[in-house]
Amino acid sequence: MAIKYGRPIELREVSRGTGTAVPHALDLTVRPRRNRKAEWARRMVRENVLTTDDLIWPLFLIDGNNKREQIASMPGVDRLSVDQAVREAERAMKLTIPCLALFPYTDPSLRDEEGSEATNPDNLVCQAVRAIKKEFPEIGILCDVALDPFTSHGHDGLISDGKILNDETVAVLVRQALVQAEAGCDIIAPSDMMDGRVAAIREGLDRAGLLDVQIMAYAAKYASAFYGPFRDAIGSAKTLTGDKRTYQMDSANTDEALREVELDIAEGADMVMVKPGMPYLDVVRRVKDTFAMPTFAYQVSGEYAMIAAASGNGWLDGERAMMESLLAFKRAGADGVLSYFAPKVAEKLRAQA
């Protein structure tokens, strides 16, 4: 007897010989629709749920006071001055969103070839970390580690003769991670895709006595067209020369993602991430099944923009598409999702509760 999904499928071939009392009814023993017949029944058999605990909310920062600047390619998302970011942290607390992720728009006058503003202990990100932690010590803060918000060329690393220098970049990333951790950041999230940076950052943190600072590695990060609106948001789209394909992954590969994740775990990552999200759900599933690590997905700016734009044009029910897109990450095995929809989702979940 063939067993498929643990169920003896030939049983239903056996004639019941009893028929049905209803005229024209098919003689079906199994009718999957029974379990979908009412809201209570659907709730009862539901396999995956999305909660506010699954959300990490990325915020964009800008210098100034009481300032909110719209980002054209991300309708509904603003760049925020530090005081406004603190207000959003308060909103996150009320909505029980566990963690914020911070990304700076660096003033062009502060960008240079080496991205030196990245290691300034008083840069915008560090200011925001301190300000948020002062008022809301209970909320988690994740800081991205990479040089692209700070370099004049928009790349994540140092460049020489048009080449991204791996090991020299890693040394700078360690210093960037240290200033962020010293400002009070809880999770260091290297998004640069240099080889060996997780081990180097772990060692740097440990030597500084920052033993409890976690590392969430952007372990399988692909060279993607879906980062476009993010690069508008942090102001690197116009200055970026070339592309990032010598360090970010080729979208054709999944075995390579497993090797990248394995290395980052061996180097000391506490959590791993797959990015982008929706076009890479197969990778999320493979990573979760292979390593059983806390696994996150980043629903990136382009994914947000697609849903927001279609919704703005009346082509999609934006709220339903948002909820469905986030539940898909849970189904694929993700433990959580970085999403620009985080506050909207949390509000929706609260309204449903």
Ligand X SMILES: NCc1[nH]cc(CCC(=O)O)c1CC(=O)O
Q: Is 90 annotated as a binding residue?
A: no
Number of H helices, E strands in the chain: 11, 14
Q: At residue 277, what is the residue type? A: G
Q: From the list ligand X, Mg ion, none, pick the one residue 156 interacts with, judged by a Cβ distance below 5 to 8 Å according to partner type.
A: ligand X
Total binding residues for ligand X by CB under 6 A?
12
Closest alpha carbon to 187 in 100, 115, 103: 100
Which residues touch 25 (CB under 8 Å, ≥6 apart)?
none
Tell the smallest beta-carbon distance from residue 181 to Mg ion (Å). 20
Query: Which residue is at the shortest CB distance from ligand X?
Result: 230
Clarify whether 275 is annotated catalytic. Answer: yes
Asked if 230 is part of the footprint of ligand X (rule: CB under 6 A), the reply reads: yes
The CB-of-126 to Mg ion minimum distance in angstroms stands at 25
Contacts of 161 (CB under 8 A, 6+ apart): none
Tell me the closest approach of the beta carbon of residue 123 to Mg ion, in angstroms.
Answer: 25
* From 133, 244, 275, 288, active-site residue: 275
| CA–CA dist 254, 248 (Å, integer) | 13
Residue 146: which of Mg ion, ligand X, none does it interact with, CB under 5 to 8 A by kind? ligand X
Catalytic choice (133, 221, 244, 330): 221
- Three-state DSSP string of 134-156: HHCCCCEEEEEECCCCCECCCCC
Active site residue 238: no
Contact flags string 300-339 toward ligand X, x per CB under 6 A? xx--------------------------------------
3-state DSSP call for residue 184? coil
Query: For residue 249, what are its two tokens?
Result: 């992954």
Q: Which of 134/259 has CB closer to Mg ion?
A: 259
What single-letter amino acid sits at 293? M
Q: Which 136-195 positions form the footprint of ligand X (CB under 6 A)?
A: 144, 146, 148, 156, 191-192
The two tokens of residue 166 are: 């791996």
* 267: contact with ligand X by CB under 6 A: no
C-alpha span between 178 and 196 (Å, rounded): 16
Name the closest residue to Mg ion (Cβ). Answer: 260
Catalytic positions are 221, 275
